[in-house]
Chains A and B, each alone.
Chain A
């Protein structure tokens, strides 16, 4: 380059510059117009609503929003996007507007971790889960023990003793047998540790490029030996909210193991079978209302499901939420909230407030629950919301995410 160095003047505030002369032709966004049409139809209906006069203007708006949120879920997209698999609002819409609508039955309807039914006087729990994790191997585990523990945990969260698992493999042409052997070995080890038998299975191979190496589906059957009923809809004001240990380790481990972030951090997945921990808890505290393993979508998503299903407010104290320092640091760097990050060996417990201390003591008696603590409680108002008292001393809402938490640019 020759001559004067170019310079950009960022403090240029002269706005008399060239006016846009050749403004390109305009279009409108059809999806936005559609959303507006719906809104106006709603607004028309709302005019006939009475009894809202005593509310402030802001409260009226918030009421209007509540009504919009309560609207039946509708699947607007024409194609599946990654957000449909992320466990947040898009996943819920897909399930409610398509799967639940078509398959609707009393066993499926509660959308719990598994279906509970009786056969010849025995109460059984039945569940299924698919595993598509990338990378297949990560610090603290691999897709094999994840696939066993995930289904064992879904049964345990239904209050069941896990008995039998199925294993379905979808393998990609060219996948190294040595890797598959490693995965199968760790599945067998995990099954033995959890006291379950992999009793049936299936294998399919797809062409190169049609799969991501190895996908696994596991289903499981367990027996419920206590006269209990657990559901997200059973939370009551006064209940305590407990997590069984520090959160977010699995999600952060896998994110970092993908190697795209160039962050090094000494974390490993928390994948573990929770059936013994759950059994010990249920023996000690009969006032347990709901157990959920905080997988996809993290603790925040579970708490939102509880708040909505039970029509209660869940108030969480950020200072009490256990997060390891390095997990917290990685989340801070990425602009992600650990409350939304997946765990594979932690559960959220909703329990009668009077039994909170007993429940925490029972959980801490097991090595997998050593980090258990009360993180919040259930209140009656505002229903359907999760509120967070921040460490800084403020308050805010913890909503369900639309899709995956995405890193922010600045």
Chain B
């Protein structure tokens, strides 16, 4: 067959234009081959390796680019708890919807929150029932909506790790400076360190190292991870979000294991400063404080693992302003997300994976957003590698 024999290079460069700078150079297939060979040579023959990528953004990259094709069979990636919309407990979604359905409220939120199910449906369902829920791309957009609708109360559904917390905090400061009295945030920000600690403390865990979260580290830096190498003797490499970043980080972890070291290293130096972003930390600290405990879907209650608005900013705290049911919605017993998050089970080993639990009806946290371990596997990897390789062979 002739049509498949030549790739029309000219055509491709014509439409792709010049390289997408800071993106395409980190997706180079030739470089990937080099790193793949290096990873292969660093693996001790016969030894099985399990590494956890903590961040959902990494999970997404791994599946989107088919990165596992570059890894030997002895290296398994375990997809961690770092998908912020996935870990929001269903009861909190119900509370948010309870606020959103008040006739005097406009709720704003990030796009990927829209499909996250609560006990009685998602934001999309609430919207269909008449709630005024709007997608924003920055929490600051909510302030414009608040200004344009002085007779309404605008509530921003604040979610995310330390990555998005500064922008939520900044929005509260801005609202205060502008004297807006019809804006508040429903704070559901979570912090990554206690979650990693909870995973490390689980008895059935067997991990050889961590691919550390990149975006979170731009805010908190790399220092907070040091307990992982000191107390738990596991290496951690903070990684960027392009596929080559992740391959290089895996190689860096393997080098550490090979040399008998376990340290915190930074692969994502082009973005992550070792000590984080002091200004962002200051802004969070000004507006928010740690909660004594918070419930995570799949992991249960974890102490000091989330943020709430300080009393000094109570006027901007939806939890202080609005009554809400505060009912806890338990995950169904059949759900094995906890085991998947800890790497004890592969997504497909869960009893309800792909049958009862699908991206359309996500029973458990890992199926909720495309960054969740199960959803990523379902959407992108739902076939044995052998058959996929056979089909894509030229």
Q: Among the listed A12, A332, A395, A406, which residue makes an inter-chain contact with B20, where contact means beta carbons less than 8 Å apart?
A: A332
Indicate whether B72 reaches chain A with its CB closer than 8 angstroms.
Answer: no
Contact B303 A28 (CB under 8 A): no
B70 with A261: CB separation less than 8 A: no
Do A82 and B124 touch (CB < 8 A)? yes
0/1 interface trace, chain B 315-357, chain A, CB 8 Å (1 if under): 0000000000011111110100000000000001100111111
Nearest CB on A from B336, distance (A): 12
Decide: A409 and B160 in contact? CB cutoff 8 A: yes
Are B392 and A31 in touch, CB under 8 angstroms? no
Question: Taking the complex as formed, is A122 at the interface, i.e. its CB lies under 8 A from any CB of chain B?
Answer: no
Whether A79 pairs with B17 at a CB distance below 8 angstroms is: no
Query: Smallest CB–CB gap between B250 and chain A, Å?
Result: 14
Task: Please state if A394 and B329 are interface contacts (CB–CB under 8 Å).
Answer: no
Inter-chain contact B111/A406, CB cutoff 8 Å: yes
- Bound-state CA distance A36–B356 (Å) is 5
CB distance from A346 to the nearest CB of B (A): 12
Q: Which of A56-64, A139-147, A161-169 lies at the interface?
A: A56-64
Cross-chain contact of A79 among B115, B128, B135, B328 (Cβ < 8 A): B128
Please report the C-alpha to C-alpha distance between residue A408 and residue B163 in the assembled complex, in whole angstroms. Answer: 13
B1-21 vs A, CB cutoff 8 Å, 1 = contact: the mask equals 111100110011011111010
Q: Which residues of B contact A27 (CB under 8 A)?
A: 91, 119, 327-330
The answer to whether residues A35 and B215 also contact, given A65-B382, A391-B29 and a CB cut-off of 8 A, is no
Contact B193 A323 (CB under 8 A): no
- With contact pairs A325-B15, A408-B371 given, residues A26 and B112 touching in the complex (Cβ less than 8 Å): no
Chain A residues with CB under 8 Å of B187's CB are none
Residues in B neighbouring A19, C-beta threshold 8 A:
293, 301, 303
Please state if A89 and B160 are interface contacts (CB–CB under 8 Å): no
User: Please, how many angstroms separate the alpha-carbon atoms of A322 and B10 in the complex?
Assistant: 11
Contacts of B299 in A (CB 8 A): none
Interface residues in A69-99 by Cβ distance below 8 A to B read 76-77, 79-83, 89-90
Give a binary string over A335-379; 1 marks a CB under 8 Å from any B CB, 0 the rest. 001000000000000000110110010000000000101100101
Asked if A409 and B327 sit within 8 Å, CB to CB, the answer is no
**Cβ distance A256 to chain B, nearest Cβ, rounded Å:** 12
Asked if A26 and B328 make an inter-chain contact with CB atoms under 8 angstroms apart, the answer reads yes
Q: Does A320 lie within 8 Å of B7, measured CB to CB? A: yes
A-B pair number, CB within 8 angstroms: 321
Residues of B within 8 A of A10 (CB): 162, 191-193, 220, 224, 281
Chain B residues 204-220 with CB under 8 Å of chain A are: 215, 220
Is the C-beta of B304 less than 8 angstroms from some C-beta in chain A? yes
**A32 in the interface, Cβ–Cβ < 8 Å?**
yes
* Shortest beta-carbon distance from A386 to chain B in Å: 11
Q: Which A residues lie within 8 Å of B224 (CB)?
A: 10-11
- Size of the B side of the interface (Cβ < 8 Å), in residues, is 130
Q: Do B15 and A371 touch (CB < 8 A)?
A: yes
Chain B nearest CB from A157 CB (Å) reads 22
For residue B161, which residues in chain A have a CB less than 8 angstroms away from its CB? Answer: 410
- The answer to the question of A208 belonging to the interface, with a C-beta cut-off of 8 Å to chain B, is no
As a 0/1 sequence over residues 230 to 258 of chain B, the CB contacts with chain A under 8 angstroms (1 = contact) are 00000000000001000000000000000
A121 interface residue (CB < 8 Å to B): no
Binds A, one of B38-46, B57-65, B97-105: B57-65
Chain B residue nearest to A380 (CB atoms) is B391
Those of B102-155 within 8 Å (CB) of chain A: 110-115, 117-121, 124-125, 127-129, 135-137, 141
A393/B32 in contact, CB under 8 A: yes
Nearest B residue to A327 by beta-carbon distance?
A: B15
Best-buried of A14, A246, A390 by chain B (most CB within 10 Å): A390
B384 at interface by CB-CB < 8 Å: yes
Task: Find chain B residues with CB under 8 A from A407 CB.
Answer: 110-112, 135, 137
Q: Which of B16, B135, B288, B302 contacts A328 (CB 8 A)?
A: B16
Among the stretches A107-115, A216-224, A396-404, the one at the interface with B is A396-404
Question: Smallest Cβ distance from A255 to chain B, in angstroms?
Answer: 11
Question: Interface residues of B: mostly helix, strand, loop or mixed?
Answer: mixed
Counting chain B CB atoms within 10 Å of each CB, which of A83, A377, A397, A399 scores highest? A397
B327 touches A6 (CB 8 A): no
Residue B175 at the chain A interface, CB threshold 8 Å: no
B271 at the interface (CB under 8 A from A): no
Q: Which residues of B contact A391 (CB under 8 A)?
A: 27, 29, 65
Q: How far, in Å, is A301 (CB) from chain B's closest CB?
A: 14
Question: Smallest distance from the beta carbon of A76 to chain B beta carbons, Å?
Answer: 8
Contact with B along A16-38 (1 / 0, CB 8 A): 11111001111111111101101
- Are A68 and B384 touching (Cβ within 8 A)? no
Within 8 A of A (CB), among B42-79: 56-57, 60, 63-70
Out of A31, A81, A371, A409, name the residue touching B128 (CB < 8 Å): A81
Q: A390-B65, A396-B63, A402-B360 are in contact. Are A81 and B124 (CB under 8 A)?
A: yes
Which residue from A8, A59, A89, A353 sits with its C-beta under 8 Å from B3? A353
B269 at the interface (CB under 8 A from A): no
A315 proximal to B (CB < 8 A): yes
- Indicate whether A390 sits within 8 Å of B66 (C-beta atoms), given known contacts A35-B357, A371-B15, A382-B387: yes
Contacts of B307 in A (CB 8 A): 8
Q: Is A119 an interface residue (CB 8 A)?
A: no
Contact, CB under 8 Å: A7 / B392: no
Contacts of B159 in A (CB 8 A): 409
Some 15 contacts from A to B, beta carbons below 8 A apart, are A8-B288, A8-B290, A8-B307, A10-B220, A13-B193, A15-B303, A25-B328, A35-B356, A65-B382, A67-B355, A322-B15, A323-B15, A395-B66, A396-B381, A410-B56
Closest 5 CB pairs of A and B: A394-B66, A325-B17, A39-B356, A11-B224, A356-B3
Query: What would 15 more interface pairs be, CB under 8 Å, given A373-B11, A374-B3?
Result: A1-B312, A7-B285, A8-B285, A10-B224, A15-B198, A28-B330, A29-B329, A80-B128, A81-B127, A81-B128, A262-B137, A356-B2, A381-B390, A392-B28, A409-B112
